[in-house]
Structure 1
Amino acid sequence: MTASKTILYIAMSLDGYIARLDGSVDWLFDVEGDGGDNGYAAFYQTIGSVVMGRSTYEEVLTLSEEFPYADRPAYVLSRAEQPPAPHVQFTTEHVETLIPRLKETSEGDVWIIGGGLLVQSVMETQLLDEIEIAIIPKVLGEGIPLFPKGTSPALLRMIRTQTLGQIISIRYEVRRSPASRGFITG
């Protein structure tokens, strides 16, 4: 059995934002892709569980009448206890213990959906294995950055690129030092 990976799979504007300042991702829906789902269905088939922050969860709920990840274990990180919700498990557990546990028990890879603070935390704890970014050809000018100020430095190795209409998708492997198991930073 292949070990599960932790993967950040996310869309980003050309200037590095994953959402507008109010959390909206409306700017994603009028870009010319490849005419299909831009590889999403194939990616989703590899996923065993999903992890997202509470703000991302709330934005996902505005995008569809049905929760799109109801067929997978879904964890929503929150700093405070939340009332139960269908299809998700709210948790105050830190990513440092949650992610390794999910990698052990998940029947597929662990998808880090967002947002920026979750990405920052997963990178800081050196738990991210791969990053796939779909670069959307738009400049937002301001918004929620993919990598907030203070994100741990990391060296990545490109393992794949794809052109999907006007979208460029880049898959990176997060490189780690064999001795320290930390990120290689130079």
Structure 2
Amino acid sequence: MMSNNKTVLYIAMSLDGYIARPDGSVDWLFDVEGDGGDNGYGEFYSTIGTVVMGRLTYEEVLKLSEDFPYADRPTYVLSRSKQAPAPHVQFTNEAVENLIPRLKQDSSGDIWIVGGGQVVQAVLQQQLLDEVEIAIIPKILGEGIPLFPTGTVPTHFRMIHKQTLGQIISIRYQVIGK
């Protein structure tokens, strides 16, 4: 049976293309004038069946809240090194070209690629990403972790939706290939 689930990157980025400070911190996201609500996050999250992120992103997520925010969804954390078991997540070193197609078949909704840059690079390299939604935050960080690290495969996109959320611009693209 074919699945209609999509693999979606949903992420915030500074005007100069960074998703985090050099130390991985995302503190710069929390004082931006949005739409007064959750800036579309709740609607997006309701479509998600499975969450995938890199280990460094996972470690940053743990710093943001006492409660793991994705505990109600199967969550996979990609790591090249052995990790101690943790509640609410499954660590894996499975290659994304095997993991993502399997999750798309088994998930009760879309697959959310949370980040970071290395995971984004890997899913683009393997042509596993269906859509990208980027919330552009009106700040320049000057340095940090880029959304698309050097060496990311050239990829073409088609805009399928855009909206203004206070000072944030959210743009959704369909991946159309190399």
Taking structure 1 as the reference length, the TM-score comes to: 0.94
* Corresponding residue for residue 160 of structure 1: 161
Q: Who is 2:111 aligned against? A: 110
The match for 1:179 is: none
Residue 60 of structure 1 corresponds to 61
Give, in whole Å, the separation in 2 of the partners of 1:11 and 1:76: 19
The corresponding residue for 1:180 is none
How far did 1:81 drift? 1.2
Using the TM superposition, give the Cα deviation of residue 2 of structure 1 relative to its aligned residue in structure 2, in angstroms.
Answer: 5.8
The 5 A counterparts of 1:85-164 are 85-164=86-165
Do residues 51 (structure 1) and 52 (structure 2) align? yes
Any idea what the Cα deviations from partners look like across 1:49-93, whole Å, max 9, x if unmatched? 000000000000000000000000000000011110000000010
- Structure 1 consecutive aligned stretches of length 4 or more whose deviation exceeds 6 Å: none
Question: Which AA in structure 2 matches 1:126?
Answer: Q
Identity of aligned residues (%): 76
Structure 2 counterpart of 1:107, one-letter code:
S
Alpha-carbon separation, structure 2, partners of 1:25 and 1:55 = 12
CA-based RMSD of the aligned residues comes to 0.8
- SS of structure 1 residue aligned to 2:143: coil
CA–CA distance in structure 2, aligned partners of residues 94 and 22 of structure 1: 26
| Equivalent position of 2:24 in the other structure | 23
Structure 1, unmatched stretches of 5+, are 176-182
* Alignment partners' CA distance in 1, 2:45 and 2:171: 16
Q: Name the structure 2 match of 1:81.
A: 82
The secondary structure found in structure 2 opposite 1:99 is helix
Give, in whole Å, the separation in 2 of the partners of 1:61 and 1:104.
28
Once the two structures are TM-superposed, the CA of residue 120 in structure 1 deviates from its matched residue by 0.1
TM-score of the superposed pair, with normalisation by structure 2: 0.98
Structure 2: gaps of 5 or more residues? none
Write the letter of the residue equivalent to 2:131. E
How far 1:158 sits from its partner (Å)?
Answer: 0.1
1:178 equivalent in structure 2:
none
User: Partners in 2 of 1:94 and 1:36 — Cα distance?
Assistant: 37
Please report how far the alpha carbon of residue 40 of structure 1 lies from its aligned counterpart in structure 2 after TM superposition: 0.2
Q: Distance in 1 between matches of 2:38 and 2:95?
A: 32
**Residue 4 of structure 2: aligned partner:** 3
